Structure 1
Amino acid sequence: MQKYKVYGALVMIMLFWGFNVSATKVLVSHFAPLTMTSFRILIAGLSVLLMLKIMKASRKLQLKELGFITFVGLFNVVGHHFFLSLGLQKTTATNGGLIMGLAPLMTTVLAILFLGTRLTFIRFIGIVFGLTGVSFVVLHGSGTLSSGSVGDLFVFLSLLIQAVSYVFIRKASSTIDGRLMTGWMLVTGSVLLFIMSLFMEPKGLSTMVSGDIGIWMVFLASAILATAVGHMVYNQTVQHIGAAESAIFLNLSPFFALVGSSLFLGEPIYLQQLIGFVFIIAGVICGSGIVEKAMRSRKKSINISA
C-alpha cells in the first residue's frame, strides 16, 4: 500500500474516532448507557470477526488464549467503556474528546512505571504539558470542580484503565494476531458489560426499543465504522508504517472531537479548552517519544552527511 493512501486512511480513522465521541454522547442520552454500550460493542466485535473470516485471517483460539483475551477485556473493554459511558453522561463531548487525546501519553507513563521505559527530560516535560492541558479542560469556566468535572474524572479513568490493558498486552509474549484479539476482546467484553447492565440498569433493555431511524444510524455507524473498521484499519496501518509514525496521527482525534461536538451538538468551545488542547498535543508529542525520535533521525542524517 502506498504511503499517501495509508496517511489518508489514518486521517479518515481519526475523523471517525473524533466524531464517535459526539455519537457516544448522543447514544448515552437516548439509551441506558451500559446496556447500549454492550450491544454496540458486541456488534463491533462480531463485525471484526466476520471481516477476518472473509479475509481468511481467522483461526480457532486455544482456551488459554481466550482466557487471556477475556482478562485483558476486563480493562480494555469493560472498565474503559463503563467509565466512558458514565462520564459522557455528566460532561460535554468537547471535554471527553480532549481528555481522550491523552491516550498515547498515558500509555507512555505506564510503560515508564511498569515496562522499564526510560524517563527522559523531554518525556517528563511532555507529562507536565499533558497534565497542564487536562487542568485547563477540567477547570474551565468556574475554575473549580463541578458535576461536569466528575464526568471528566470518569472519562480520565476510562483512559487510564484502557492504558493499563495495553501494558498487559505488550508484556504478554502472545502470538495472537492483533485484529483477532481485538474482535474476541470486544465480543467477550460486551457479554460481561451486558451482565453488569442487568444489575445496574434493570430496565435497560426497554430503552433499546426506542429511538428513531437517525439514532439507530448513529448507533450502527459508531459500532461498525468507528469501533470495528476503525480498529481494523489502524492495526493494518501500524503494520505498513510502524507504530510510532501511526501514533502521530492520534493527535488529530481530539481535534475532530472538538469539531464534531461543535457541529453536531452545538457545544461552545472556550478559550481555556483550546489552550488545554494545545498543551495536550504538545504533551503527547514530547511524552510519547516523537520529539526524541525526530532528534535521533536528524542527528543520524547529519553524521551521515558529514
Structure 2
Amino acid sequence: MNSIGTQLLLIGTMAVWGLNISAIKVLTDYFDPMVIACFRMVLAAAVIDMSLVWSRRPVKLLRISAGQWLRFVLCAAFLVYGNQVFFTSGMHAASATNSSLIMALSPLVASALAALVFRESLTGIRLLGIALGFGGVFAVVFGSQDAALSGPGRGDLQVFCSMLSFVVGGMLIQTLARQFNALVITSIVYTLGAALLCLHLFVSGTAGLGLSVLLAPGAWPWLLMVFSGIIATAMCNVLWNRAIAELGVARTSLYQYWIPVFGVGFAMLLLGEPFTVWHGVGLLGILLGTYLGTRRPVALAARARA
C-alpha cells in the first residue's frame, strides 16, 4: 500500500480509537468493568491469533527461552492486563472527554520514560513540553470546582494509570522486537493478557456472569463489545503495527494527536458531554506539550538525516 493510503488508514484508526472511548463509557452502564475488559481482550486475542494462523508464519513456542517468556508475561501484564483493569474501571467514573485528553499524553510520557531509560538528554524545550502536558491534564481533571479523588478525579487517575501501564508495556515490548515478528509478539502478548484477565475475573468471583444476566442488556451493548474488541482493538492494532513498519515509529506516533480530537468530538456528539474552557486549556496544553516534549534533540535529528 502507498504512503497516502497508509496515512488515511491511520487517521481512520485514530477515529475508531476516539469512538472506542465513548463506546467503553456506554458499556460501563451495562456491565462490570472486569467483564468488559475480559470479553474485549478475549475477542481481540482470538482475532489476532486467527490472523497469525492465516499468515502461516511458523511459531516455535518450544524454542522460546524462560527469560523471553518472562518478558512476554511482563509485557502482557502491563500492555493488556494492567491497561485494561485501570481503563475500564476508570471509565466507570471518568467522562469520555477527560479520558480522551488524558490518553493524549501517551506519546509525551513515552518520550519522557525513554529519555530516562536510555539516558537521553532532557533539553529545556522537552522539559517545558512535559510541564505543559501534565499542566494540561491538571487543568482538565481539577478545573471543575467539584473535582476530587473520591469522585470523577479518581476515575481520571485510573485512566492515567492505564495510559502509563500501556506505555511501560510498549517499552518492554521493544526488547522482544529484535527477536520476534511483530504479529507473533502481538499474538502471544494479547493471549497471555486475556488469560490474566480471565483468571482475575474467575478469582474475584465477579457477579453477573450468568447467561441470563449477560444477555439482559440486549443486543446493542454486545454489538458495542464486538466493535470494541474486534475492530477497535484487534484490527486497529494490526493496522497500527503495519503503519509502523511502513512509515516508521516516529512518523506513525504523530497521528496519536488525533485521538483527543476524535475522542472529544464523539463524546460531545454521542454522549452529550460538555466541553468547558478548562477542557480547551487542557487540550492546548497537552497537544503543545506533546509536540515539544517528543521533539528529538537537534544533534540527534541532524545525525539521523546524515
TM-score of the superposition, structure 1-length normalised? 0.91
**Structure 1 pair 133–56 and aligned structure 2 pair: CA distance change class (3 A):** same
Alignment length (residue pairs): 299
Alignment match of 1:182 (pick from 174, 179, 186): 186
CA distance in 1 between counterparts of 2:104 and 2:196 reads 26
Once the two structures are superposed, the pairs formed by residues 285-296 of structure 1 within 5 Å of their partners are 285-289=291-295, 296=301
Alignment match of 1:244 (pick from 240, 243, 250): 250
1:132 offset after TM fit, Å?
0.9
Residue type matched to 1:258 in 2? V
CA distance in 2 between counterparts of 1:202 and 1:208 reads 12
Once the two structures are superposed, the pairs formed by residues 243-262 of structure 1 within 5 Å of their partners are 243-262=249-268
Alignment match of 2:199 (pick from 195, 202, 208): 195
CA distance in 1 between counterparts of 2:146 and 2:9 reads 39
1:122 offset after TM fit, Å?
1.7
**Structure 1 pair 140–102 and aligned structure 2 pair: CA distance change class (3 A):** same
Q: Name the counterpart of 1:75.
A: 78
Query: Do 1:115 and 1:171's aligned partners in 2 also have CA atoms closer than 8 Å?
Result: no
Query: Do 1:22 and 1:93's aligned partners in 2 also have CA atoms closer than 8 Å?
Result: yes
**Higher deviation after alignment, 88-97 or 68-77:** 68-77
CA distance in 2 between counterparts of 1:287 and 1:51 reads 36
1:144 offset after TM fit, Å?
4.4
Once the two structures are superposed, the pairs formed by residues 42-61 of structure 1 within 5 Å of their partners are 42-57=42-57, 59-61=59-61
Work out whether 1:168 is the aligned partner of 2:172: yes
Residue type matched to 1:271 in 2? V
CA distance in 1 between counterparts of 2:146 and 2:220 reads 37
Q: Name the counterpart of 1:129.
A: 132
CA distance in 2 between counterparts of 1:119 and 1:188 reads 35
Q: Name the counterpart of 1:304.
A: none
Q: Name the counterpart of 1:138.
A: 141
Residue type matched to 2:159 in 1? V
Q: Name the counterpart of 2:13.
A: 13
CA distance in 1 between counterparts of 2:264 and 2:290 reads 17
CA distance in 2 between counterparts of 1:44 and 1:289 reads 33
Aligned-residue sequence identity (percent) comes to 28
Classify the secondary structure of the residue corresponding to 1:90. coil
Query: Do 1:32 and 1:201's aligned partners in 2 also have CA atoms closer than 8 Å?
Result: no
Question: CA RMSD of the aligned region, Å?
Answer: 2.2
CA distance in 1 between counterparts of 2:223 and 2:44 reads 14
Gaps of 5+ in 2: none
Work out whether 1:263 is the aligned partner of 2:269: yes
**Structure 1 pair 201–259 and aligned structure 2 pair: CA distance change class (3 A):** farther
Residue type matched to 1:198 in 2? F
1:90 offset after TM fit, Å?
1.0
1:60 offset after TM fit, Å?
3.2
